[in-house]
Structure 1
Amino acid sequence: MERKVRPADLRAVGEVRSELRQLLSRWAGPASSDLAEIATLLTSELVTNALVHAKGGAIVRATVTDRLRVEVRDFASQPPEPRAPTADGTSGRGLMLVRSLADAWGVRSHAVGKSVWFELGGGPA
């Protein structure tokens, strides 16, 4: 799956979640419901971060082999900075969730911008 998201298009976050769920249902069927919930949550957080903090749109890629890998690329060079959530819970939780729920995650630099990625294990049941 690959999806381009226009700058400030926060409506696209829900569309990306839906596309990811479709991909996961083809990959692992109904057995993937827990994986799909975690994957869609983490993807939502990363896409929202890219749209809010990088201001240049994003490209979302999801691939499945024996694992799910999601990459969200933006076009800002500054690395993401994990921080404590705000008191109202509206900011600061995205990377904390990725760190706690993903099997692996990281940041990859590009000539222009960066990709924040995560992987979740398991294959079709």
Structure 2
Amino acid sequence: MSTRTGDTERQAAPQLSRRLGRADPRAVPDARRALRELLRHWGRPGRSEIAELLTSELVTNALAHTDEDAVLTATVGRHGLRVEVRDAARRLPRRRMPEPDRDTNGRGLLLVDSLADAWGVRPCEPGKSVWFELGADAA
């Protein structure tokens, strides 16, 4: 017997949850591949590619700047996509302006800030969660 609310059956939002190993060189490409599969039929053209890029940046930051594993969670809801990457470090990420000719690092949060519809950091025990949201239909 299924649970019904009025005439509409409730369905869980599609979700991805994955532990990412700090020492695993495949963690970032595996996270991208799993997100791509989750978003196979989601959003306007180009939205899933933006989600993959931003997820790569958050995963890379979590694994490069901490000594622990991280956890990736992505949820497709009625209004769009929310991706969170949780790590055990209490230190908050910060945006920085890299020198164009000298530094190839430091651009991840600038990308997140410019491409995500919303993003932020929330403390959790232990550590923090860095998240972003994308609407499926945004231009």
| TM-score, scaled to structure 2 | 0.80
3-state DSSP of counterpart to 1:25: coil
1:1-125, aligned counterparts within 5 Å?
1-26=16-41, 28=42, 32-65=44-77, 66-86=79-99, 87-122=101-136
| Structure 1, gaps ≥5 residues long | none
Task: State which structure, 1 or 2, has the greater radius of gyration over its C-alpha atoms.
Answer: 2
| TM-score, scaled to structure 1 | 0.89
Task: Provide the C-alpha distance between the structure 2 equivalents of 1:39 and 1:81, rounded to a whole number of angstroms.
Answer: 20
Task: Provide the C-alpha distance between the structure 1 equivalents of 2:90 and 2:105, rounded to a whole number of angstroms.
Answer: 20
3-state DSSP of counterpart to 1:56: coil
Higher alpha-carbon deviation: 9-18 or 85-94: 85-94
- 4+ runs deviating over 2 angstroms: 85-90
Contact 1:10 1:51 in 2 (8 A): no
> Residue type of the partner of 1:12?
A
- What percent identity do the matched residue pairs reach? 55
Higher alpha-carbon deviation: 55-64 or 31-40: 31-40
| Structure 2, gaps ≥5 residues long | 1-15
Higher alpha-carbon deviation: 49-58 or 3-12: 3-12
Aligned positions, number: 120
Task: Provide the C-alpha distance between the structure 2 equivalents of 1:83 and 1:44, rounded to a whole number of angstroms.
Answer: 18
Contact 2:74 2:82 in 1 (8 A): yes
